[in-house]
Amino acid sequence: MTSTPFYSRRSLLQELGGGAGALGMLSALQADAGPRVGLHFPGRAKRVIHLFMNGGPFQGDFFDPKPALRKYAGQRPESADLRTERRTGGLLPSPFRYRQHGESGLPVSELLPLTARCIDDICVLRSTWTDNPNHGPALLLMNNGTILPTRPSMGSWLSYGLGSENENLPGYVVLCPGKPVRFSILWTSAFLPGSHQGTYINHSDLRPERLVPFLKNPNADRSRQGRQVGLIRQLNEEHLRQTGPDTRLEGRLQAMETAFRMQFTATDAFDLAQESRSTRDAYGEGHFANGCLLARRLSERGVRFIQVYYGNGQPWDTHNDHHNASRNLAKAIDQPIAALLSDLKQRGLLDETLILWGGEFGRTPTSENGSGRDHNHYGFTTWMAGGGVRGGMSYGETDDFGFQALHNRVHIHDLHATILHTLGIDHEQLTYRYAGRDFRLTDVAGRVIQEILQS
């Protein structure tokens, strides 16, 4: 597929009268004609929820038991002598006990007793790795496939490739009770049309007027405002016609209409008060629980890509007092994640919703500062669930200490390629021509991990 940056799909469709594609780009353009599943082939998943543990959890604490750590505690064997961001010391065993769970018998540590019950729906990728041990570049790589801030994020690519399932809401919503490091650049659409940019919502205060502050207009009569918005579009299109192509202006054109429609649907979508007591109790309390529940409500309504950042700054960045911090963080995510998985399953949504869990990197099995762990990009755990991914399996292996991914390594490009695949997108074909060359989310790399996909 090719595309040009100076015609939006919509305006092109209009110019072509919605007719047959002479330019061979209609496969993507059809996305606007209505919701679709799969761009290049039928996909199992329709949307993605990304549970982002910003700061980077330690893989050995959750799904990747490493008994050898205990044996070599305090030592620094040659294979654990890897450079990370800061200097680390000897091996620091994870004190958390593992047990086998579910029919699959996959080991999950005591930190996640409730999530463990869903293990048969989870595919643990133990061998994920990334390029850079610093937060900024690693966050960017996870989000846009490069360490550069000027590339479209994964959510923008999905929104661009698949269009919207619900034109009353943004296609890409970012929930964070605060601001992750690098903030809005993490969900930029860069050179993709502006309408595919992530819409950031700070959900630290759940009152709907606080979540989306300008949603209510006491004077808004739907018909009047509808005609007003229609007229604004007309004026804007005229302006655009005079000044020449501009993807950002076109993005705003669309944003205005989404905004108009959001007024009548977003209150509903974002209002957790509409959930029953038992559902609220099932998810539990706290920002992350609320984020997961909002994510379910948004995914039900067809938002393409929902990112739930765990918290402000980089809460998982445990350079000190790692064990206690990890215990508390795990407590905050365990119940909500278990609830989200069961809830989606019960509603029949899990199969068409891909859940991705993980940080921008992992942490070292060696100690930093005595009680802390440093960033580790050599090997760490992410997991997927739903969306046509096989549950109850683990893929890939790290070394004896959980430092480096050794077998069946999964680079972020592979992760991206696989995610796109579950949605029916060939990562090598989802391209965008800009500044004289074709760009894609996976650059020139990426392998779909077929082994983890349901047949």
The interface with another protein within residues 339-368 (CB under 8 A) comprises 368
104 or 225: CB nearest another protein: 225
Q: Which of residues 67-96 bind another protein (CB under 8 A)?
A: 82-83, 85-87
Measured between alpha carbons, how far is residue 294 from residues 59, 114, 169, 176, 427 in Å?
A: 27, 20, 13, 11, 29
Longest CA pairwise span in the chain (Å): 73
Distance CA 12, CA 423 (A): 25
Using CB under 8 A, pick the residue from 76, 191, 302, 392 that binds another protein: 191
Q: What angle do CA 82, 123, 431 make, to 5 degrees?
A: 80
Nearest one of 1, 5, 56, 82 to 436, comparing CA atoms: 5
Q: Which distant-in-sequence residues (6+ apart) come within 8 Å of 257 by Cβ? A: 167, 229, 233
37 or 249: CB nearest another protein: 249
H helices within 98-196, ranges in order?
113-116, 135-144, 154-162
Under the binding rule (CB under 8 A), the answer on residue 23 touching another protein is no
251 or 388: CB nearest another protein: 251
> Residue 423 — φ and ψ, nearest 5°?
-95, 5
Under the binding rule (CB under 8 A), the answer on residue 280 touching another protein is no
264 or 453: CB nearest another protein: 264
Q: Which distant-in-sequence residues (6+ apart) come within 8 Å of 214 by Cβ? A: none
259 or 282: CB nearest another protein: 259
Distance CA 62, CA 77 (A): 23
Using CB under 8 A, pick the residue from 104, 265, 342, 369 that binds another protein: 369
243 or 278: CB nearest another protein: 243
Give the nearest distance from C-beta 255 to another protein in angstroms.
5
Give the nearest distance from C-beta 264 to another protein in angstroms.
12
Q: Which of residues 194-213 bind another protein (CB under 8 A)?
A: 194-195, 197-200, 207, 209-210, 212-213
Contact mark string toward another protein, 408..437, x via CB under 8 A: --------------------------xxx-
114 or 255: CB nearest another protein: 255
Size of the site for another protein (CB under 8 A): 76
Place of tokens 């996976």: 442
How many Cβ atoms are within 10 Å of 442's Cβ, its own excluded?
A: 23
Give the nearest distance from C-beta 427 to another protein in angstroms.
17
Using CB under 8 A, pick the residue from 17, 42, 244, 348 that binds another protein: 244
> Residue 300 — φ and ψ, nearest 5°?
-55, -35
Using CB under 8 A, pick the residue from 240, 349, 393, 453 that binds another protein: 240
260 or 283: CB nearest another protein: 260
Using CB under 8 A, pick the residue from 319, 327, 345, 447 that binds another protein: 319
Contact mark string toward another protein, 35..74, x via CB under 8 A: ----------------------------------------
Under the binding rule (CB under 8 A), the answer on residue 243 touching another protein is yes
Measured between alpha carbons, how far is residue 35 from residues 27, 161, 344 in Å?
A: 13, 11, 20
Q: Which of residues 146-165 bind another protein (CB under 8 A)?
A: 150
Give the nearest distance from C-beta 177 to another protein in angstroms.
12
Q: Which of residues 217-236 bind another protein (CB under 8 A)?
A: 217-221, 224-225, 227-229, 231-232, 234-236
109 or 364: CB nearest another protein: 364
Measured between alpha carbons, how far is residue 80 from residues 150, 178, 366, 396 in Å?
A: 35, 35, 7, 19
Distance CA 316, CA 362 (A): 10
Q: Which of residues 247-266 bind another protein (CB under 8 A)?
A: 248-249, 251-253, 255-256, 258-260, 262-263
Q: Which of residues 99-138 bind another protein (CB under 8 A)?
A: 129, 131-132, 134
Measured between alpha carbons, how far is residue 177 from residues 201, 307, 326, 327, 428 in Å?
A: 8, 12, 19, 20, 35
Pair type for strands 305-309 and 47-52: parallel
Distance CA 131, CA 137 (A): 8
Under the binding rule (CB under 8 A), the answer on residue 378 touching another protein is yes
